[in-house]
Structure 1
Amino acid sequence: MDWSNLLTNVAGELFAPTTAAFALAAIGLNVHFGLTGLLNMGQAGFMLLGAYGFAIATIAGWPLWAAVGAAVAAAVAFAVLLGIPTLTLRGDYLAIVTIAAAEIVRLVGRSTALTDVTGASNGLLGNSFKQTFQDASPFPDGSFALGPFSYAINASNSWWLRLVGWAVVVLAALLVWRLMRSPWGRVLKGIREDEDAVRSLGKNVFGYKMQALVLGGVLGALAGILYVLPRAVQPDSLGRPTTFYVWTILLLGGAATVFGPIIGSMLFWASLMLIKGFMRAVVPSDVMSVAQIEAFGWILVGVTLMALIIFRPQGILGDKKELAIHVR
């Protein structure tokens, strides 16, 4: 077994574009759940809308900044449309509605009636919308090696994408850190603990919930852009499982913390790479095929999520006194 190659791949996952994308999506979910107590089970919907908004606008000839603006606008519109009828719901009811809303986005993207726009189930090819992002790089084309890690500078899975992706993650974490310590953030925490008490103080609880839903959704849309830049926009790749991955990442690192989503994403993807790589090397193909090993890795994700909820609901960095996971 080539431990050197395996450990290099695992270490590469710690700062991969996918890791950054899911860290950003988990930061958005942290605004929803960690700060406000909203059981949003449809974060994948915001990610898919962001991906489609960016890709469709770019294909239409929009510049990079306008395409990102289109993705953000799509997330804001979706949050408002979703929030107006649902933010009065609590607990399980909100979770059911949000996961259904995300499924609607996915199914609309798969619709053959919109093949010319979304590509239906085949999606949108990466080469049709990546050029503006790659052209924005100040670095020359080619490849660059840093220790054992060698990637293209400006291509799909590139150093440029890693630099931009993690810069956005850091900025989002700083924003959440500042908001958590602001009067606005303290109101959100009050809503999380007892929204009736906050309402009795004259605060517009619905308005604050809507603001949190929009902010977390925008971060989810930006995460969707980062997620599809190394690949294509395919609706099924951002389906229901994606939301559960984001939840696992958030709960692993610790909800209501600044760096919990980042640590959670790094551990999640690095551990998954380690498990799958180790099993491929040591498990004979007549015992488990590659596809079965892939499925077994995701089974472990589900078991991990259940174990977190049971034994350490506050996560690695979380404080049990700060956040108790319960359904009101």
Structure 2
Amino acid sequence: MEDFLRILTQSLGEILAPTTAAYAIAAIGLNLHFGYTGLLNMGQAGFMLLGAYGFAITLIAGGPIWLAVLVSLAAGTLFALVLGMPTLQLRGDYLAIVTISAAEIVRWLGRSTLWQEWTGASSGLQGRHYKDPYLELSPLPEGFTTLGPFEYINTGSDSWWTRIVAWGLVILLLLFVWLITRSPWGRVLKGIREDEDAVRALGKNVYSYKLQALVLGGAIGSLGGVVYALQLAISPDSMGGRTMTFFVWTVLLLGGAATVFGPVLGSMIFFTAFMFMRTGMRALSEGTAVGEVIDPTTVEQIGGMAVGITLMLLVIFRPQGILGNKKELAFNAR
């Protein structure tokens, strides 16, 4: 019983984890692409990795934290422009091909020894090299704080300060998305998603609106990378890989595309369930006969397979997610 309560508490802690917030932010950006505009961006991890690199490298070079955030946003914006300008006049599936390929290019460039001085190559950038200016902003006293079953250090990477910053940013972005999607600009995006030919017939520049949505969602995705880097280190393989993109898609589809709160709900449920499954499987493999079938080294692989199966089942049986409306997914095939 004690082991079960420990596993449950550890799993519920993922609801407030900075990593959960980082994926929620990335999914909010992807929601602008896919949920509201119908753009198939399969490379959101590339935006996150570039945003994290821009933030960390600026701080390492001695820049202030506000400049680091601006550089992160600029990196996501530039990446979206490079990808979107040549592809958004073509069919939607071309964007999917380009974005997933571009994310892989970013990952391999990060791993390359050519810019090792800046990116750390395959070893990445350790938090101790860039987090100090961020941690110095914390107004919280030293020590630990306990809220219910959760106890964390006040200031640090995995701290209450990081949780306050991460979820505060999530709230601001939710408010921002709620406002813009209810504006005339947001209604045009929904029209493009449902029938871009009709929107074009009304005299709207569909290409321009698509590019604006791609840039805005990409910049938000880069902020997700910043939040991810505040708790963890920056590694091109863990951040820029396909796994991160699939996690973001699972989060979005689970919560509900084209909904404001869907990315946040999806991230909370997904990472709580994912942590419960992993910690539970580890406990079973170490203390029971199950360990003869599943040893601790295979838990991550099984977890990855479970995510893939979950994503397939969501697409097949509940594409609208928990909060979504199936009518909202009547995407234009072009």
Pair in the same fold by TM > 0.5:
yes
Q: TM-score range by the shorter chain?
A: over 0.9
Which shifted more, 9-18 or 80-89?
80-89
Cα distance in 2 for residues equivalent to 1:114 and 1:322:
44
**What SS does structure 2 have at the residue aligned with 1:318?**
coil
Give the number of aligned pairs: 328
Give the AA of the match of 1:322: E
Alignment partners' CA distance in 2, 1:26 and 1:191: 20
The normalised TM-score by structure 2 is: 0.96
Q: Which residue of 2 aligns with 1:153?
A: 154
Partner of 1:61 in structure 2?
62
Q: Are residue 290 (structure 1) and residue 296 (structure 2) matched?
A: yes
Name whichever of 33-42 and 315-324 sits farther off.
315-324
Q: Offset at 1:229?
A: 1.2
Q: Any conservation in 2 of the 1:47–1:222 contact (CA below 8 Å)?
A: yes
By how many angstroms is 1:205 displaced? 0.9
Identity %: 62
Q: Which residues of structure 2 form unaligned runs of 5+?
A: none
Q: Give 1:327 shift.
A: 4.3
Q: CA deviation at 1:326?
A: 7.1
- Which ranges of structure 1 fall in alignment gaps of 5 or more residues? none
Cα distance, 1:91 vs. partner? 2.9
Counterpart of 1:285 in 2: which secondary structure? helix
Q: Which residue of 2 aligns with 1:194?
A: 195
Retained in 2: the 8 A contact 1:314–1:324?
no
Letter in 2 for 1:55: A
**1:250 equivalent in structure 2:** 252
Shift of 1:171: 0.9
Partner of 1:41: 42
Name the structure 2 match of 1:241.
Answer: 243
C-alpha contact 1:313 1:325 (8 A) present in aligned 2: no
CA contact under 8 A between 1:50 and 1:74: conserved in structure 2? yes
Aligned to 1:110: 111
Helix, strand or coil at the partner of 2:327: coil
Residues 148-169 of structure 1 show CA distances to partners (whole Å, capped at 9, x for unaligned) of 2111111110100100100111
What does the per-residue CA deviation read over 1:308-328, in whole Å, with 9 as the maximum and x for residues that have no partner?
A: 111011000000112236744
Partner of 2:328, secondary structure, is coil
Q: Spell out the pairing of 1:279-318 with structure 2 (5 A cutoff).
A: 279-283=281-285, 284-318=290-324
Mapping of residues 109-188 of structure 1, within 5 Å: 109-188=110-189
Stretch moving more, 72-81 or 82-91: 82-91
Please report how far the alpha carbon of residue 281 of structure 1 lies from its aligned counterpart in structure 2 after TM superposition. Answer: 2.0
Amino acid at match of 2:304: W
Q: Per the alignment, in what secondary structure is the counterpart of residue 231 of structure 2?
A: coil
Deviates more, 1:138-147 or 1:298-307: 138-147
Give the drift of 1:214.
0.9
Supply the distance in 2 between the matched residues of 1:272 and 1:188 (Cα, whole angstroms): 33
Deviation at 1:86, TM superposition (A): 1.1
Runs in 1 of length 4+ with deviation above 6 angstroms? none
